[in-house]
Structure 1
Amino acid sequence: MALDTANKTQIIKQYQRTEGDTGSSEVQIALLSTRIAALTEHLKTFKKDHSSRLGLLKLVGQRRRLMRYLKRTNRESYNKLVADLGIRDNI
């Protein structure tokens, strides 16, 4: 479930640190969260789609690792991102 270009650009602009920043942890976590939400909705309809479920689990693990890194390096930015995206803080 790839994101369309307009939606992806909007998310990047909202969470980037500086102009042209597309790879910071905040941007990556926001993009992953959007993809996770889309896959979750897909799996509510197609319960037997096991390959998408595996992809979802991989995305969740990747987001979890990025969040753990961000929490360790920049606590203030982490707290803002968790509040913004509505992600549980159980790391």
Structure 2
Amino acid sequence: MYLTNDKKREIFAEHGNGAEDTGSAEGQIALFTYRIAHLTEHLKKNRKDFNTERSLVALVGKRRKLLNYLYKNDIQRYRAIIEKLGLRK
């Protein structure tokens, strides 16, 4: 499996407030970004996998909602996570 518990802890430790803080918006955005990158690579090889494509669109929507939440409530955290993950807006 591409996403193990150790990898999740590493992502949350790097982008969140600690390895056990799975609820922070930054940690969730980082996790979604990792999953989106993995699904994008999968879809490059398997063009007709429409179920995965649908899942990818749902993940992008979830990430967008979290980014909008951060934008409205704490613009500094929003700018930091955008820069750290290399996302554009």
TM-score for the superposition, normalised by structure 1 = 0.90
What code does the residue aligned with 1:63 have?
R
Paired with 2:47 and 2:19, the residues of 1 have a C-alpha distance of: 40
Q: Which residue of 2 aligns with 1:50?
A: 50
- The equivalences for 1:12-27 within 5 A come to 12-17=12-17, 20-27=20-27
Figure out how many residues of one structure are paired with residues of the other and give that number.
Answer: 89
Q: Name the stretch that deviates more: 12-21 or 50-59.
A: 12-21
Q: Which residue of 2 aligns with 1:37?
A: 37
Whether 1:76 aligns to 2:76 is yes
The structural deviation recorded for 1:59 is: 0.2
* Cα distance, 1:19 vs structure 2: 6.6
Paired residue secondary structure (2:22):
coil
- Cα shift at 1:15: 1.6
After TM superposition, give the deviation of residue 20 of structure 1 in Å. Answer: 3.2
Over 3 Å counting, the alpha-carbon distance change for 1:27 and 1:75 in structure 2 is same
For residues 73 and 18 of structure 1, the distance between their equivalents in structure 2, rounded to whole angstroms, comes to 21
| Deviation digits for residues 9-56 of structure 1 (CA, Å, limit 9, x no counterpart) | 100101222573110111110000000000000000000000000000
The letter for the 2-side match of 1:54 is R
CA-atom RMSD, angstroms?
1.5
Residue identity over aligned pairs, in percent, reads 42
Aligned partners of 1:29 and 1:66 also within 8 Å: yes
